[in-house]
Amino acid sequence: MIPGTIITGLVVFTICPGAVDAAGKLTALRDHNVTFTTNGEKTVSGGNLRDSEFPVPLIENAELTQTMLPWKIPCGAWRAPGSNVFGFVFQSFLHELAVAGGRDHVEFLLELLGEPRWLDPGNTRTLHTGRTADVINLAAEKAGWGTTLPDGHHFGAWLLL
């Protein structure tokens, strides 16, 4: 880093349409990400929407597109998972889809994960759906998921990978 240089985090804009069927099962997801580039070829740090971003590999009908706009301010690395830029977007939208489908959010996430498996067989650095489901179930149990809460209080689930 050069003294006096401003290094900023990244701001992205995203448009996410999706669909659930009559049973409330997620059937489609599209994300168009508007991000930034300093050289016209590569996104700034943290701005690249990867096809491995959860939940995209779990959805048969998913499409990711990206637009890069010119940006002159350097962007530095974030001290968190690479998905932290997109985690809020996808997790919030998954909740909206669960509500649109009349589904419990935890149940919706567990169905999305499906059978226990590595998303990239043999690569232990990728998502294992069974281990992830175990974490969701444990967190829901410890939080008392589904119990009656006082007015103005609600449960929420967010899975950042």
**Domains of the chain, CATH where assigned:** 13-143 (3.30.365.10)
pLDDT digits (tens, 9 = 90+) for 23-82: 999 999 998 888 888 888 888 877 788 888 888 999 999 999 989 999 888 777 666 666
pTM for the full predicted model: 0.83
Query: What would the pLDDT profile of 15-27 be if each residue is shown by its tens digit?
Result: 888 999 999 999 9
- Residue closest to 38 by CA, chosen among 10, 2, 74: 74
- Express each pLDDT in 86-119 by its tens digit: 788 888 889 999 999 999 999 999 999 999 999 8
